[in-house]
A and B are shown apart, each in its own frame.
Chain A
């Protein structure tokens, strides 16, 4: 399963070069008793350009850890993370991220939040305004441009976070369970919104979730992780064409894939009723 020696992959033709490559990445956390916990163990996978890749796995299997490494917010213990073939060192605007918790800057209004990265890049005010207006419209928050985060619902906050990340036009968008804290109704709306936005932009996305429906609905490819230590157990391609819609969760391909993932995540459990 794991292609640990890197030489075999590097020789692949340049045209097929992945946008994001995770190569033999391991991550140890100190356990506070002088030893360490293995959070990730020799994880390797590629995300080709314009692909929506989804990581699923049980809680605590290292999904967030992996995303933080890709973002450059933490250092690998061993292995390498490459963007366009170049190793990443530290965080940068080429890898945008939407976090598991709410991370809007509460002292800035929605518009200023979305403009944060653009301002750092030195984009002139007029152009900035145009870009912000575009993404406000994309996430349906034009009316809330001047609101502050304390007046926004959880779903709205995550929409701003998505707009903020997209406005910066990153090479890769990393999303860590962005809808994990939302109620199921809002979650559905957010999934629809993200599908629509992605089908227009075709960003390279690495999306983390532990909701299997969400993984199949959004992803082109699903990477199933196993826990303790975190490893990629299987890579699955989602055979459903775009544009996608919510109704497709009832289709046989969808259900078959869902059963396959459920079996990987809970090998001993009977999945009959879950798959219904």
Chain B
């Protein structure tokens, strides 16, 4: 015991490895602390309930909206838009981005435009999209598509560019054709990076969704939030935020799991 560092010392050492149990406990403690502060502020009457609902009030509202079916309806409305936009964007960006990272010609064609558009905030386009597409679901899908596509393009092209050259060279000296190098080497070598980029951009897609729903929507979690603000229903706003957070967490874990399953070799 004498020559082992104490737990406190280890926690204060930069870049050290802590036991898994410590990591979990610290994480749980933070959540408990978070709820305690919330309870203290709301139930303790520090902040009036008009601004900060109690956790039980949020739960109660959640249960009620779940029972009458409005909550599932709005969750599904949001999820549908996010998934449609995200999947469309990914389906376009994966092949195009990988091509961009693989073939300098494609890079030379696309990069200048992409880098220009990439720095335009998608919110600046919302009025334009409303004008062009209207305020229906398509408009929100367009916002997500536009917001994620260009970011994804750059991320996927970086993924392809980071595949070690000699991995391709090794395949060539083993008799691989350009087509088989592309499918048997570039594609599998890019897979872990692609999944990581998808995981990150999925989070962004949720952000754009809420932006789009706050501006123009008649359903969805952003929409009920906005409506609740008008009716001073702060508990509904909290509920919407909590659900968006929970959905984000679920998709994140799903991507982690997928990464482990299909690209476990890259751990």
Contact = CB atoms under 8 A, between A and B. Distances in A.
Interface string A153-169: 00000000100110010
Nearest to A95: B173
A99 B170 contact: yes
Interface in B58-93: none
A101 B166 contact: yes
Interface stretch (B96-104, B174-182, B214-222): B174-182
B31 interface: no
B175 A117 contact: yes
Given A73-B172, A168-B174, A107 B164 contact: no
A116 B171 contact: yes
B174 A96 contact: yes
B265 A96 contact: no
B265 A107 contact: yes
Given A107-B188, A148-B265, A150-B267, A120 B170 contact: no
Interface string B234-267: 0000000000000000000000000000010111
Contacts of B170: 97, 99, 103, 105, 161, 164
A47 to B, nearest CB: 17
A117 B174 contact: yes
A93 B174 contact: yes
A71 interface: yes
Contact of A150 (B169, B171, B265): B265
A131 to B, nearest CB: 13
Given A103-B164, A120-B180, A91 B173 contact: yes
B242 to A, nearest CB: 39
A168 B166 contact: no
Query: By CB atoms of chain A within 10 A, which of B169, B174, B184 has the most?
Result: B174
B174 A73 contact: no
Query: By CB atoms of chain B within 10 A, which of A92, A99, A164, A168 has the most?
Result: A99
B184 to A, nearest CB: 8
B178 to A, nearest CB: 10
A217 to B, nearest CB: 25
Interface in A96-117: 96-97, 99, 101, 103, 105-107, 116-117
A116 B169 contact: no
B57 interface: no
Contacts of B185: 105
A166 to B, nearest CB: 11
A60 to B, nearest CB: 18
Query: By CB atoms of chain A within 10 A, which of B171, B172, B180, B266 has the most?
Result: B172
Contact of A103 (B166, B175, B263, B265): B166
A168 B191 CA distance: 27
A174 B172 CA distance: 13
Contacts of B164: 101, 103
B52 interface: no
Interface of B: 164, 166-167, 169-177, 180, 184-185, 188-189, 191, 263, 265-267
28 contacts: A68-B169, A71-B169, A71-B173, A91-B169, A91-B172, A93-B173, A93-B174, A95-B173, A96-B174, A97-B169, A97-B173, A99-B166, A99-B170, A101-B164, A103-B164, A103-B169, A105-B170, A105-B189, A106-B189, A106-B265, A107-B189, A116-B184, A117-B174, A117-B176, A120-B176, A150-B265, A150-B267, A174-B173
